[in-house]
Amino acid sequence: MIEARDLTKYYGRRLAIDHLTFHARKGEIVAFLGPNGAGKTTTMRILTGYMPPSEGEAKVAGFDVVEESLEVRRRVGYLPETVPLYDDMTVWDYLEFMGSLRQVPNLDDRIAEVLERVHLIDRAESFIGTLSKGMRQRVGLAQAILHQPEVLILDEPTLGLDPRQRVEVRELIREIGRERTVLLSTHILPEAQELSDRVLIINKGRIVAEDTPEELQLRVLGAQRLRLRVRGPGGAAQLAQLLRQFPGVLHVHTVDEEQLEIEAKPEEAEALRVRLARAVLEQGYDLLEMCEISLSLEDIFLQLVRDESAEDSDAESTTRKGARNSED
């Protein structure tokens, strides 16, 4: 239903998304997960035919988003992040306007049906300007599903809603997602976990991980993470240097002067802890605490995002070193 290959978008010289390749099948709910400015909105705007990509191509419902933009737009329902609505129109008039632009058959019946579904039928004659944030969100959603689109693209659909409304909107998305393809973006991890069949983690315009929420969790459990609290001559940083060479240790990251986080291979978990404890003491440190950290999707997300920036700064320091060497 959605097929994106090497999607790239520059705003002027700034690279917003960088060769994104992904897909979404019919009846699948796919979540885009990433921090603000990661490129989620840009990607969605390309898929909805709002703007063309700088490079790469995408097909939605079998149509090219650039060459057959109108066909794509006929088949896509879109809820932009800002939920833009005309405040001076009533809910009904607004849906009538959007519905007639989209040539929805039996429009009056359909509007009533959709308003029923988003629980706004009693506000049909209210001016949009008088509605609460949650209600506006539901008007936006009603607009997006009005023409029974094959593909629904929702940019942060639960942003700014209270918990009860959030549950309602999720319920609605799940219901819609049974027959249609839904691509949604969120920065709320439990939401992605709860709603979607597949999660695409996106950071700085690149997909850093893609899997089902369960698989991602398994992947997280695949590594063992320990938190150590130590006190000693060179502080945590110096100990971290030493532990990096330690067999079985994958990653060491200093939290503060006393705390370390270690990522290690899951094999021989206990034996490793014993060896670690011993090594800490041998180096003349006091071991105040050692505990296992269990990871949530949130952690893997942060981990992936951090790895990305670490790579960047590594590359930077290498080039700087290179520059210095050449000066010698």
Partner 1 sequence: MRAAWIIARREFNRYFSTTVAYLVLFLFLFILGILFNSAIQRAYQYSLFQGATPPDVQVILGPMLTLLVFSIPALTMRLLAEEQAKGTIELLLTAPVRDWELVTGKWLGAMGFLTVLLALTFIYPLALDALVEPGIDWGPVFAGYLGLFLVVSALTALGVAISAMFRNQIAAFAVTLAVFLFLWMLGALSPGSTNPVLEYLDFGRHFYRTFYRGVIDLRGIVYYLSVTFFGLYLGSVIIESRRWNG
For binding to partner 1 (CB under 8 A), which residues are involved?
Answer: 9, 11-12, 42, 45, 48-52, 70, 73-74, 76, 78, 80, 82, 84-86, 88, 97-98, 100-103, 143
What angle is formed at CA 319 by the lines to CA 317 and CA 322, rounded to 5 degrees? 110
Q: How far is the CB of 101 from partner 1 (least distance, A)?
A: 5
User: SS3 of 38, please?
Assistant: coil
Q: Which residues contact 233 (CB under 8 A, 6 or more apart)?
A: 284, 285
Among 156, 161, 131, 160, CA closest to 144: 156
Report the C-alpha gap between 168 and 294 in whole angstroms: 30
Pick the closer one to partner 1 by CB: 75 or 273: 75
| Helix and strand totals (H; E) in the chain | 11, 14
- Give the integer Cα–Cα distance in Å for 247 and 227: 17
- Beta-carbon contacts of residue 268 (< 8 Å; ≥ 6 apart): 248
Residue with smaller CB distance to partner 1, 111 or 262: 111
Q: How far is the CB of 184 from partner 1 (least distance, A)?
A: 16
C-beta of 48 vs 203, nearer to partner 1 = 48
Q: Residue 73 CB, nearest distance to partner 1 (Å)? A: 5
CA distances from 187 to 102, 145, 161, 162, 164 (A): 30, 23, 14, 16, 18
CB of 140 to partner 1, least distance (A): 9
Residues with Cβ within 8 Å of 218's Cβ and at least 6 positions away in sequence, in order, are none
Nearer to partner 1, 152 or 228 (CB): 152
CB of 104 to partner 1, least distance (A): 11
Minimum Å distance from CB 234 to partner 1? Answer: 50
For partner 1, give the closer residue by CB, 73 or 170: 73
CB nearer to partner 1: pick between 144 and 208: 144
Q: Which of 231, 248, 249 is nearest to 239 (CA)?
A: 231
Cα 43 to Cα 106, 169, 195, 291: the distances in Å are 33, 22, 20, 40
Query: Between residues 90 and 217, which has the closer beta carbon with respect to partner 1?
Result: 90
Q: Least Å distance between CB 312 and partner 1?
A: 24
